[in-house]
Copies of this chain bind each other. A is one copy, B any other.
Amino acid sequence: LKRPTIRDVAAHAGVSHQTVSRVINGDPRVAAATYDRVLTAIRELDFEPNAIARSLSWNRTHTLGIVTYNVSEYALGQTVAGAEAEARRHGYFLFVGSVADESGVADEEAYLRLMLTRRVEGLILDWPTLRADNGQSLVAVTARVPLVAIAADPSLPGVDVVDIDNRRGGFEATSYLIAQGHRVIATVTGPPAWNAAGARLQGYHDALAAAALPFAPEFVQAAPDWAPDAGRAAMVQLLASCPGVTAIFAQSDMLALGAMAAIRDAGLRVPRDLSIIGYDDIPVASYLDPPLTTVRQPIRELGALATELLIDAIGQRQTGEADRPSRHLLPPHLVLRNSVARRPPIA
């Protein structure tokens, strides 16, 4: 039951435990013969160095923590996969924790502290509604280890923030609709508490302004969540309040899906009667009817980037460099399919 230690190996090989330590650390000063003898002993006993003991001695755990909040399981999987791959590439392990569902802010902080207890060297926080005013609890944490926040408000002080450029995504989506000849464009946004919703809406506004297109408050409907049902309800509203609308920018593919259902229910067709562009490029998007034009998000890359920055920051703290918080925006990518129709310019 008990696992062998370097002392067991040492006894087995007839050397001191220190020599064993040298071997497992690749110290070149060990004589070749001794080296082999130790290696054989290691193999025979199936010895595995105890990383816990090493951590204690090194005062380094090579461990990162990621805690996610209220993210869809799809995005969660992508983010974690990206982060994990990057972490491993650098010899780090990754603790996961999700604060989804039942828990609130308090639990959030408690979890981060638990991770500190485990002596993670850095933390990733995936919390899309995090802003300066609800992120106070983070300062105590960042005093201990660097933290990079995914999808947080960029104005959040003291931490690195990475995100996909939502303003740009909203801008490109809307500009595309404009380029296709649309002049009255409505939008279904996500929940206003999400930073992404505000940024994408800003992009929408910017695109309208850049084209000197009219805007009216009834052009925007905020959905209470990102699910299809909310998109459907919002679309019903839009249909009633924006008679001249020819195109919709939905802030997620799921919202777009619901909106398309509402459009169908109204006896209209996409894209003949109404064009729609989504956001996310979920795996089924190209198999919808019609295939959905949308904005792809490099979520996996986002997880990887967060991890890379975190590992950088860890290195900086160790060398005593000042790690001033940075902001990084990954570009989204327009994916053209068939849910947007070209509209002949008015003569």
Q: How far is the CA of A55 from the CA of B287 in the complex (A)?
A: 50
A56 lies within 8 A of chain B by Cβ: yes
Contact B84 A73 (CB under 8 A): no
Contact with B along A81-115 (1 / 0, CB 8 A): 10011001000011111101100000000000110
A94 partner, pick from B53, B55, B96, beta carbons under 8 A: B96
List of B residues within 8 angstroms of A328 by Cβ: none
A244 lies within 8 A of chain B by Cβ: no
Contact A118 B261 (CB under 8 A): no
Q: How far is the CA of A317 from the CA of B49 in the complex (A)?
A: 21
A284 partner, pick from B53, B80, B228, beta carbons under 8 A: B228
A342 lies within 8 A of chain B by Cβ: no
Q: How far is the CA of A261 from the CA of B287 in the complex (A)?
A: 7
Contact B93 A95 (CB under 8 A): yes
Q: How far is the CA of A140 from the CA of B61 in the complex (A)?
A: 25
Contact B46 A52 (CB under 8 A): no
Contact with B along A184-210 (1 / 0, CB 8 A): 000000000000000000000000000
Instruction: Indicate whether A46 sits within 8 Å of B140 (C-beta atoms), given known contacts A95-B95, A118-B51.
Output: yes
A100 partner, pick from B76, B81, B101, beta carbons under 8 A: B81
A50 partner, pick from B94, B119, B264, beta carbons under 8 A: B119
A51 partner, pick from B117, B254, B283, beta carbons under 8 A: B117
List of B residues within 8 angstroms of A77 by Cβ: 72-78, 80
A258 lies within 8 A of chain B by Cβ: yes
Complex A-B: 27 CB contacts under 8 Å: A3-B144, A46-B140, A46-B143, A48-B144, A50-B117, A51-B118, A52-B55, A52-B56, A73-B74, A73-B81, A75-B77, A76-B81, A77-B78, A81-B100, A84-B96, A85-B98, A85-B101, A93-B97, A94-B95, A95-B95, A96-B96, A228-B286, A228-B287, A254-B283, A254-B284, A261-B287, A289-B289
* Interface hits, A257-290 → B, CB 8 Å: 257-258, 261, 264, 282-284, 286-289
- Shortest beta-carbon distance from A102 to chain B in Å: 9
A239 lies within 8 A of chain B by Cβ: no
A116 lies within 8 A of chain B by Cβ: yes
Contact B95 A48 (CB under 8 A): no
A80 partner, pick from B96, B140, B282, beta carbons under 8 A: B96
Q: How far is the CA of A11 from the CA of B341 in the complex (A)?
A: 74
* Interface hits, A233-272 → B, CB 8 Å: 254, 257-258, 261, 264
For A48, A118, A288, A300, the residue with the greatest tally of chain B CB atoms inside 10 Å of its CB is A118
Q: How far is the CA of A74 from the CA of B114 in the complex (A)?
A: 27
For A50, A51, A300, the residue with the greatest tally of chain B CB atoms inside 10 Å of its CB is A51
